[in-house]
Amino acid sequence: MRKVYSKIEQIVGNVITVKASEIKYGELAEVHSAHGMSLAEVIRMNEDLVSLQVFSGSRGISTGDEVRFLGNPMRVSFSDNLLGRIFTGGGKPRDKGPELLENMIEIGGPSVNPAKRIIPRNMIRTGIPMIDVFNSLVESQKLPIFSVSGEPYNELLARIAMQAEVDIIILGGCGLKYDDYLFFKETLEEGGAMSRAIFFIHTAADPVVECLQVPDLSLAVAEQFGLQGKRVLVLLSDMTNFADALKEIAITMEQVPSNRGYPGDLYSQLAARYEKAVDFEGAGSVTVLAVTTMPGDDVTHPVPDNTGYITEGQFYLRNGRIEPFGSLSRLKQLVNKNSREDHRALMDGMIKLYALYQETLEKKAMGFRMSEWDKKLLKYGEQFESGLMHLSVNIPLESALDRGWQILAECLTPEETGLRTELIKKFWPKQELSATDGKDQTK
């Protein structure tokens, strides 16, 4: 049995300090107070002073409470019994099921050797044209959804979870509203996906330190399933809350803040989680889709900013739809070359035209006369928005590409598209082509 200490020297924020010996960095301890037992983790040691962050918070902890060191770091049980279960950020059951203690694995383990990774090659089809056509989601990708409070980001996450072809879905909720937690639960239950899902949920009302454990718990479990050959999709919502929890602990520990109070290692901390996304050579994969809410819709805020540098692209969810500007899937090149030969050209061409449409909109708003070209662009933009951009559109990739050509043909002549002649010859809807040919000759 490990040593028990019953004198807490200092309590600051959620961090307690005890005098103890033979403790290892990162070790767990149980803190027994009048309000029950909580786990705590060693985060700093200086001579015989050991500082621990208490998972359920320090409120109500007395300096005379008992601290019992467990001799092991934070662990989680891993087996198929996890499927369909719901846990808290401390790894305890949130549903009424039994506590799992078999086959404990460490969380926050070492990173994967880059030499053992493979180039991702499978598209995850979602039925959302703004993703499938313009920014394909790829197996083993890590991708955030940048959004602001009030946008339907959790609905989008749930929809992708339901439609994506994966073996296991893991939801990590950081500071999730209780309603949103119930929403996820109900959606997955109704869709019959709960039996292949695992939830680690920290709600907004739970102690903040538990929020820090959620991504590590979710990803450690995902990684193990990945090694068993499963394709795992991890959904994290919302990583800004995770970063805020980091900030809170860092300030408590009197670290020098770098930017808006966030610790200097925010980038490394976020990266350590996102980089768990992986395609294992000869085994399964872990794909991470995370919501990052941007405080004040400001993408230069440290959390979205650092996230953007870590992840392989981002989706901007604004006004209920995925914005084509700024949204980017860095891995799309790896999969959209094999889908259909017009995929890439159409993707770039349509976005360039949509950018011009936006300029025209500005001009229109300022009251300028619309030229013939402007009018064409306006028509194009409207059709693009209703036919492809709207989140209600739910069609497979190929149909979405065909619809793209249809929109182009209805609004523009072939040489106005900026697309290569050979593609136009092959994909331009036939009756439209002859009509514009005729017009060119009359010029």
- With CB under 8 A as the contact rule, the residue among 189, 362, 382, 437 that binds other proteins is 362
Contact 21, 48 (CB under 8 A): yes
Confirm or reject binding of residue 337 to other proteins (CB under 8 A).
Answer: yes
Which 317-336 residues touch other proteins, going by CB under 8 A? 325-326, 328, 330-331, 333-334
**308, 314 contact by CB (below 8 A):** yes
Give the nearest distance from C-beta 71 to other proteins in angstroms: 11
Supply the minimum distance, in Å, between the C-beta of residue 46 and other proteins. 4
Torsional class of 122: left (φ above 0), alpha (ψ -120 to 50), beta (otherwise):
beta
Angle at 434 between CA 423 and CA 405, to 5 degrees: 40
d(CA 279, CA 231): 9
> Could you report how far apart the first and last alpha carbons of the chain are, in Å?
93
Q: Shortest approach of other proteins to residue 204 CB, angstroms?
A: 27
CA distance linking residue 143 with residue 308, whole number of Å: 9
- Which residue bears the tokens 């009424």? 96
Residue from 305, 385, 402, 432 in contact with other proteins (CB under 8 A): 305
Q: Is 442 a residue that touches other proteins (CB under 8 A)?
A: no
Rounded distance between C-alpha atoms, residue 103 and residue 38, angstroms: 22
One of 9, 32, 70, 73 touching other proteins (CB under 8 A)? 73
Least spacing, CB of residue 423 vs other proteins, in Å: 11
| 119 scored as a contact of other proteins (CB under 8 A) | yes
Query: Of 352, 215, 217, 320, whose CA–CA distance to 274 is shortest?
Result: 215
Stretch that binds other proteins, among 86-94, 113-121, 228-236, 288-296 (CB under 8 A): 113-121
Q: Which of 43, 264, 288 is nearest to 143 (CA)?
A: 288
H/E run at residue 402: helix 397-411
Residues 218-257 that bind other proteins (CB under 8 A): 227, 255-257
How many residues touch other proteins under the rule CB under 8 A: the total is 83
| 391 counts as binding other proteins under rule CB under 8 A | no
Smaller CB separation from other proteins, 76 or 201 = 76
Q: Is 398 in the site for other proteins (CB under 8 A)?
A: no
Judged by CB, which is closer to other proteins: 31, or 249?
249
